[in-house]
Structure 1
Amino acid sequence: MTLALDWSDTSSIGYPTLFLGVLIGSIVPVVPTGALVGGAAAIAMTTPHLSLPLVLLLATLGAGIGDVATFAAARLGSTAAVRWLSRGQGAERLASARVRFERRGWQLIVIGRLVPAGRIPVLLAAGAVSYPWRRLLPATLVACVLWAVAYALLGVLSGGIFDSPLVATALAAVLVLLVTVVLNLVAKRRRAKTGVGK
């Protein structure tokens, strides 16, 4: 038995790429993690090389570990997180964030994971207000499962339309991009309506 990757076997490359890509992208948002999950799901639907349940499991694990690492960094370096959260806002912003997390912290964590560019601010805020680990971990698990399923469904949809893995993966990436743009527009409109940050 060897630990070396078999470069001729798509699954031996695909699974580690998916897991590490989602993990890294969940800590440092440089990898389009949604497109990665959608593409892997499209490949799972159109070829025997990847398994959809394993795609979901690895995407959830990568996202969950990345989110916990981000929260831990904010929690352990809470002075920096508090400075970031309250920059130019004063102590009332931190007090307001603390109240919001006490009332509906799990909802904020789930929504933060699903809304583009919402995850890191929410996790930093949770760390800054010392949100309890016992509440964070189940909320993160639920958020990451929902996120993985949502983006995998886009890949399943594209894989169900096209038999070609290349076309299905490209369509999954386009669908992920469209969903991201729509969610960003909805979030901006909501913020403008409610006057968040003012």
Structure 2
Amino acid sequence: MNWTDLSSVGYPTLFLGVLVGSIVPIVPTGAVVGAAAAIAMTTGHLSLPLVLLLAAAGAMVGDVVTFAVARLGSDAAVRWLARGQKPERLVAARRRFARQGWQLVVVGRLLPAGRIPVLLAAGAIAYPWRRLLPATAVACVLWAVAYALLGVLSGGLFDSPLVATFLAAVLVLLVTGVINLVARRRRERVGNRG
């Protein structure tokens, strides 16, 4: 392996970053995908189709592992995965999952902080693997495309890989912040009505 070639380091970093961030949300996976897409747009070191494929694959493997731990794992493993999640959010996800399973898998992957409660709820109610896997595949492809588009946009605006990568990360963080703000305001409005 040639460690001076960006593709030798970039592809494994992308896949592993998304995989780890999908299991333990310590890596900003959207920013990783956006940055890789920006690099693909501004250099010849990464291929955009491979970026999309590896991002979707890493996200899918991570989501399947999270679901498997929730479905097959011990109570301690589920508590470890659920740390940092508000209990009322998990309870609400369980109730809705019974009615709208596959839609929740897709939307949960696309919304910041929605994936883990949805996957834990799916595991807790023993959602069938045969339904989860196709929904997860669709969700991960849509997620990879959405965040790669932010990188493509920044790569199209700037020729510098460094500037494009920085802008992609900033765009991802801004989009995530706006989505969180809108979701919080919506929850507050619904809570005030009830």
The verdict on a shared fold, with TM-score over 0.5 as the criterion, is yes
CA positional deviation for 1:102: 3.2
* Residues 1:17 and 2:20 aligned together: no
Tell me what 1:43 maps to.
39
Equivalent-residue separation in structure 1 for 2:95 and 2:108 (angstroms):
17
Tell me what 1:175 maps to.
171
Identity %: 76
TM-score (normalised: structure 2): 0.89
- CA, structure 1 residues 130+189, in 2 after alignment: closer, same or farther (shift >3 Å)? same
CA positional deviation for 1:50: 0.2
- Gap runs ≥5 in structure 2: none
* Residues 1:28 and 2:24 aligned together: yes
The ranges of structure 1 where at least 4 consecutive aligned residues each deviate by more than 3 angstroms after the TM superposition are: 78-82, 96-99
Equivalent-residue separation in structure 2 for 1:97 and 1:167 (angstroms):
39
Secondary structure, counterpart of 2:168 in structure 1: helix
| Number of positions where the alignment pairs a residue of Structure 1 with one of Structure 2 | 187
- 1:124-151 per-residue CA deviation (whole Å, 9 max, x = no partner) reads 1110011111110011011100100000
State the Cα RMSD in Å: 2.3
TM-score (normalised: structure 1): 0.87
CA positional deviation for 1:77: 2.6
Tell me what 1:141 maps to.
137
**Corresponding residue to 2:4 among 8, 16, 30:** 8
Kept in 1, the 8 Å contact 2:105–2:139? The answer is: yes
Equivalent-residue separation in structure 2 for 1:79 and 1:15 (angstroms):
35
- Gap runs ≥5 in structure 1: none
Kept in 2, the 8 Å contact 1:70–1:123? The answer is: yes
* Residues 1:195 and 2:191 aligned together: yes
* Residues 1:69 and 2:48 aligned together: no
When structure 1 is superposed on structure 2, of 52-61 and 114-123 the one drifting more is 114-123
